[in-house]
Amino acid sequence: MAATPEADWVSRFADEVIAEAERRAPGKPIVCASGLSPSGPIHLGNLREVMTPHLVADEIRRRGHEVVHIISWDDYDRFRKVPAGIDESWAEHIGKPLTSVPAPAGSAYPNWAEHFKASMTESLAQLGVAHRGISQTQMYTSGAYQEQILLAMRERAKIDAVLDRYRTKGRTGAGAPQQGKLDEDEAAAAQEAAEGSGAAAEDDGTGATGYFPYKPYCSVCERDLTTVVAYDDDSTELTYTCQCGHTETVLLSEHRRGKLVWKVDWPMRWAYEGVVFEPSGVDHSSPGSSFQVGGQIVGEVFGAQQPIGPMYAFVGISGMAKMSSSKGGVPTPADALQIMEPPLLRWLYARRRPNQAFKVAFDQEIQRLYDEWDTLGRKVAEGTANAADTAAYSRAVGTAAGLLPVTPHPLPYRTLASIVDITTGDPEQTLRILRDLDPADPVASLDETRPRLDRAQHWITTQVPAEQRTRVLPEPDAALLAKLDDDQRESLRLLLAGLDGHWSLEGLTTLVYGVPKTRLGLPMDVKPTPELKVAQREFFALLYHLLVGRDTGPRLPTLLLAVGPDQVRALLTP
């Protein structure tokens, strides 16, 4: 990797993790970790929980070290609430493990957790994220954690004492670091993130009958509306009552239907898996939060060390409001991958340090992002990009396993978006225009421009409001043509006369910018002057009115190519 650790945050963390792993467990595989709750759609904020350790683990792997990136699926968490768009009858399942809740109506998956895991798993595959998934349902119900559960129960007084240090300091999250004032969209996404967290609304095990870090699921109603009322350390007999009226005594050494409370569960897993690196969100980094408390519990109870790792900042969405209102939630990685290629989405996470907030664009900003991405690609190819940008680009386009698939003939995203907007995606018309873009390097088939073409088309059809779509006038605007003055008529004549000789994207760009220069008696290579800029704006506005009936639209050279020479002449001839 070309960048120095000072310039490249991924390299710096890789250095630290390798050194820490060598200190803790020399010669063993290095474990990086993420945790995801499939309690609902797993959104782009949660993706940072995965991408941060993925990028670090991949750098460690590139250096020849054995490393594993585990993703713990918190699918044994309780079902907390019925989300928007789901029938209220699902309320009867509140309190059950996510894997015991039926999937949303019409789903092909066996339960709620698997339904929401599936989309994320597919997205991670597209993004090249190699990982080992761990189902917490499988771990708990198989008895894998039984020794750890019994240990936590024996040491419950010690755990209670750790928790008690923070109980008088206010509710968890009160001291969370702030990232500045959030706008309406960001606040909505932040709320969504908090509700999806494994720590959300989680009690710490305190009850009227004493402190117990283990929460059984009721064997009758399957919910966690239970209270442990007695426990014997020697026999491991545990008695619980449930709000449904059921009371039961079980041997905890054999019981498989329950889990440790979150603030004990997380550090237990650090010890069990030997995690060296795991980032944490802002919601886990305040005084008394699960990450801080877990750092003490993992050492005092489980005899291990807390992972190293940064606090990661909020990921916002630009253009989220439209999606939120239509889908009842914030966008997911699958949503993003429908409008952008995987390397671009990887780049957004790779180029910013974890503590830097950024936004994923679903609005017009995506066109600028793609322009920036393509420019960076050219600079990297030329060797003119700086070290940090080169490193981020390299991490975006591939992993230690190889390069990700790319579009063979990557035309500008904004050009593709304009074309599919004007043609409404008609393949024959789209290919006709693409062939005319650059006669020196013509597009032979639409497949050459995929998947970028498909991403641009999906963006146009799902994210651009109908009133902003481009509709070419079916007939000439006779009234406007009749009112043209001599200067406007001459400008149109010059444009139409130059069509045949300039019929390419570059040629039409020269032509439409050149007509006002000719009218002002200026050479083609003149630098823009205030007078020229005014003349160009007026000419462009006239063309837009005659072609699409409004002041603005797609870039005029692209629009002219899309309309075609015959229709251009029909619409622009006075």
Give the DSSP letter string of 526-550: PPP-HHHHHHHHHHHHHHHHHHHSS
The C-alpha atoms of residue 81 and residue 88 are separated, in whole angstroms, by 10
Task: Provide the Cα torsion 473, 478, 482, 483; round to 10°.
Answer: -50
pLDDT (0 to 100) of residue 187: 52
> What residues contact residue 368 under an 8 Å CB cut-off, 6+ apart?
361
Range in 183-187, 366-370, 449-453, 548-552 with the lowest mean pLDDT: 183-187
How does residue 285 score in pLDDT terms, banded at 50, 70 and 90? low
The predicted-structure confidence for 403-446, as pLDDT tens digits, reads as follows 999 999 999 999 999 999 999 889 999 999 999 998 889 999 99
User: Above 70 in pLDDT, residue 6?
Assistant: no
> Residue holding tokens 């994320």?
120
CB atoms closer than 10 angstroms to residue 497: 12
Cα separation, 96 vs 220, whole angstroms: 11
d(CA 196, CA 219): 26
pLDDT per residue over 76-98, tens digit each? 999 999 988 899 999 999 999 99
Locate 113 and state its tokens. 């957790």
The residue length of the chain stands at 574
| 119-173 confidence digits (pLDDT tens) | 999 999 999 999 999 999 999 999 999 999 999 999 999 999 999 988 765 444 4
pLDDT bucket at 202, cuts 50 / 70 / 90: low
Neighbours of 572 (CB within 10 A): 22
What is the residue type of 370? Y
> CA–CA separation, 318 vs 330, rounded Å?
11
pLDDT band at 175 (very low <50, low <70, confident <90, very high): very low
DSSP H helical segments within 253-364, as ranges? 262-273, 290-300, 320-327, 333-337, 342-350
H or E element that contains 31: strand 30-36
CA-CA distance, 409 to 432, in Å (whole number)? 15
Inform me whether the pLDDT recorded for 178 exceeds 50: no
Asked if residue 326 has pLDDT above 50, the reply is no
Phi-psi region of 255 (alpha: psi -120 to 50; beta: other; left: phi over 0): beta
Q: What percent of the chain has pLDDT over 70?
A: 90
pTM above 0.85, yes or no: yes
Burial call 393-405: b when 16+ CB within 10 Å, e when fewer: bbbbbbbeeeebe
Instruction: At 84, give phi and psi (nearest 5°).
Output: -60, 140
Whether residue 200 is predicted with pLDDT greater than 80 in this model: the reply is: no
Is-contact 218 255, C-beta < 8 A? no
DSSP 159: H
Q: How confident is the model at residue 320 (pLDDT cuts 50, 70, 90)?
A: low
Highest-pLDDT range among 6-15, 107-116, 161-170: 107-116
What pLDDT, in 10s, does the model give residues 352-362? Answer: 999 999 999 99
Per-residue pLDDT of 208-232, as tens digits, reads 889 999 999 999 999 999 999 999 9
Residue 282 has pLDDT above 80, yes or no: no
Q: Is the pLDDT of residue 194 over 60?
A: no
- Cβ-in-10-Å burial (0-12, 13-18, 19+) of 548 comes to buried
pLDDT at 85: 85
Lowest mean pLDDT among 42-51, 196-205, 366-375: 196-205
Nearest to 340 by CA among 314, 374, 315, 316: 374
**According to the model, what pLDDT value does residue 213 have?**
97
> In the prediction, which pLDDT does 329 show?
67
What pLDDT does 327 receive?
47
Alpha helices by DSSP H, 73-145 = 112-126, 136-141
Sequence-separated contacts (24+) of 224-229 with Cβ below 8 Å: 224/78, 224/95, 224/96, 224/258, 225/95
Percent of the chain with pLDDT over 90: 81
Position 180 scores a pLDDT of 47
387 pLDDT above the threshold of 90: yes
Q: What is the DSSP letter of 213?
A: S
Dihedral in degrees, nearest 10, Cα atoms 278, 283, 286, 287: -100
Distance CA(484)–CA(477), nearest Å, equals 11
Amino acid identity for residue 498 in this structure? G
Rounded mean pLDDT of the chain?
A: 91
pLDDT for res 177: 42
Which residues in 304-325 are b (16+ Cβ under 10 Å) and which e? bbbbbbbbbbbbbbbbbeebbe
Q: Are strands 30-36 and 237-242 parallel, antiparallel or unpaired?
A: unpaired
Report pLDDT digits (tens) over 218-276. Answer: 999 999 999 999 999 999 999 999 999 999 999 999 999 999 999 999 999 999 999 99
Higher pLDDT pick, 59 / 292: 59
